[in-house]
Structure 1
Amino acid sequence: MDNLNVGRHISGQFNEDLERVINHVMSMGGLVEKQLKDAINAMIEGDEKLAKKVLKGDYQVNDYEVNIDDECTRIIAKRQPAAGDLRLIMAIIKTITDLERIGDEAEKIAKVAQESFSKEQRDLLVSLENLGQSVLVMLQATLDAFTRMDFDAALKVHQTDDKIDREYEGLMRQLMTYMMEDPRSIPQIMSVIWSARALERIGDRCQNICEYIMYFVKGKVVRHTSPEDMENL
């Protein structure tokens, strides 16, 4: 907990409460990261068994969100945290909501992975894999920044979303072109588009979590703040 720059408290139990909930968030983040990684691999490899594993794992992600939210509610009611402690609890509550939604996006990708694609259509998934790997790296960096509550790391990750958006737009142009050249492929390509959209949304969720980190560290809401102003906080 010291790495989070959270002060020690007179109540040892309060420290234990904070440490426990933080550890649970980290465990949830690790599970969500694995869910995304498995969903991408299931899509690229056409692995239906792995896709089913992701779908089954989504229930565990949901359980984490509910349980951590309950823990945070109990801490607020019992400890009445203020200042940095309250910001930390609020950042956690918001973070687990976005982590749960990232899990939902991974579930969408896993469902598409269960569909059938021709060899030519599967070749297009290479571009989707590139986007997926970029988003996975962004998620990993986001979780690392959260673990350390590192403002500079969060800012750096936040700025990488522009790269994700460019990759997404390039992939969309490629898929649209393919559908115009072969209208029969539209149903399958639309599924790939849904997956690409899910990945792009995960990038947005990572940005949100980075903003919560900045809020905890600086005590300022940066949701509508320009990149230049963020650097000057």
Structure 2
Amino acid sequence: MPGSETVKRTTLRSQIAEALRDEVIAGRLPAGRQFTVKEIAEQYGVSATPVREALLDLCSQGLLDVELHRGYRVREFSYADFRDMIEARTLIVEGMFRRSAERALQAATPQALASVRRRAEEAGRAALAGDLDILIGYDLRFWREMAGLVGNPYISDFLDRVRVQSWIFTVPLLRGLGDLRGRLWHGHADLVEAVACQDVVRAQRIVVAYNHHSLALIDGLTPRPDRNPTT
């Protein structure tokens, strides 16, 4: 079939990109880690071409940096970057609700709401249990579907990118806490109910409270030059 090899390579490219993205988010490929196309190709038992394309995709998402003559490196984010991510998340979601939420929610199907509600329940359970690995997957799916209900595909993609970067910064810090039960935000279901009731004001308040929670939790875990050392 004409083009079948291209389709196969594109599929392999996306599979490798998704697998590597998961490794970066989970911290198994930590910030600053360097690697080459050959290393990843050997790891997955594939040719260099789809690996190179997958790595370039991750570079375009802001997850990797290209190092001349040295390959690729997992991007390192700072606390200042994280604060900017939170601000971006807040502005995106506030703008999304303010601009089109009521109209979009009126058109949302019961199936779409049921799906995002399931994601919310799973994410909330994982958060309460302190199961970070399970939470990350459901949380990212939840926000992708939530943005799909009240936004447009471009906004949804941009929000997903910022959320992924937020997790990359926070995961190593959160793992250092050990027992995470009761410490992670678990208001996904509350947000879904506000959205289902078309209560845009309540939904905005929940999102703002969530972002404050994120900053407060990470603020105490991040060493920064502006803090005076304890004596």
- TM-score tier, shorter chain, comes to 0.3 to 0.5
TM-score of the pair, normalised by structure 1: 0.32
Q: TM-score, normalised by structure 2?
A: 0.33
More strand by share: 2
| Larger RCO (CA under 8 A, 6+ residues apart) | 1
Which is helix-richer, 1 or 2? 1
